[in-house]
Amino acid sequence: APSPAAFPPLAARVPGRQGPLALRACAVGAYVGLATAGAYAWWFLSAPAGPHVSLWQLTHWTECIPDGDARTFVGVDCTAFDRPEPRGVALAVLVVTEMVNAFNGVSATASIATLPPWTNPWLVGACAAGVAQLLGILYSGPIAALVDVAPPLPEEWVAILALAAPVVAIDETFKAFERSRLHDRAAAAGNASQSPPAPGSQARF
């Protein structure tokens, strides 16, 4: 099959993603956003190195001040809400999830199991470069300090990969529905072409 790069760009009047493709893009985008925000909250709520605050304390963190109501933040160090670690975890989830989702783009309908990412070496190289930039930001002291992030711990990387993986399942679900829809459409077209003409529809000479 010819490379997509061999075709000219679409004209401005051609509509963008519609129907199932638009729904797929919205679903994947919503998950990426929820996973990023969820990773940030997870660090405060459940991460081994986190402060293990409650959800109420996290959503009301601006009330955690030295002279505030100590009863609602018992045993909580208010400076924990300004630590760079959760931002590092959230940034890693965002980048890794987007890189994994890029592998889904090898084909609009074929499963990643039948058309793996390494069929497009340029895509693999681009994703590797993106992950390298992420690691460079997280693990280089001056840049990490500038961006105000901290590198995740090993157990946090496990959680990051676990949050990135479902984006494959989401896209595979939409691809399966799309393959089924195309199969049904092709079957209907084939049946229509094989059906005999209606009485009286034949041309008379």
Contacts of 24 (CB under 8 A, 6+ apart): 171, 174
Measured CA to CA in angstroms, residue 110 lies from 5, 17, 69, 126, 174 at distances of 19, 18, 57, 21, 11
Q: Is 75 exposed, middle or buried (0-12, 13-18, 19+ CB in 10 A)?
A: exposed
Average pLDDT over residues 187-203: 62
* CA atoms within 13 A of residue 161's CA, in its CB half-sphere: 6
Using pLDDT thresholds of 50, 70 and 90, give the confidence band for residue 69: low
- Beta carbons of 135 and 128 less than 8 angstroms apart: no
* CA atoms 91, 92, 93, 99: torsion sign: positive
- Per-residue pLDDT at 71 exceeds 80: no
Using the Cα atoms of residue 160, residue 127, residue 91 and residue 56 in order, give the sign of their dihedral. Answer: negative
Tokens of 47: 């991460």
Q: Mean pLDDT across the stretch 175-179? A: 86
Percent composition of the chain: helix, strand, coil (DSSP 3-state, to 5): 65, 0, 35
CB atoms within 10 A of CB 126: 13
Check if the beta carbon of residue 81 is closer than 8 Å to that of residue 64. yes
At residue 131 the predicted structure's pLDDT band, cuts being 50, 70 and 90, is: very high
pLDDT in tens, 133-158: 999 999 998 999 999 999 999 999 99
Place of tokens 């094989």: 194
Is residue 148 within 8 A of residue 87, CB to CB? The reply is: yes
C-alpha 137 chain-centroid distance: 20
Residue in this structure with the two tokens 């949050």, named with its chain if needed: 163
Q: What tens digit of pLDDT does each residue of 101-121 get?
A: 999 888 888 888 888 889 999
pTM exceeds 0.85 for this model: no
Residues 8-57: tens digit of each pLDDT: 766 666 565 567 778 888 999 999 999 999 999 999 999 999 999 999 99
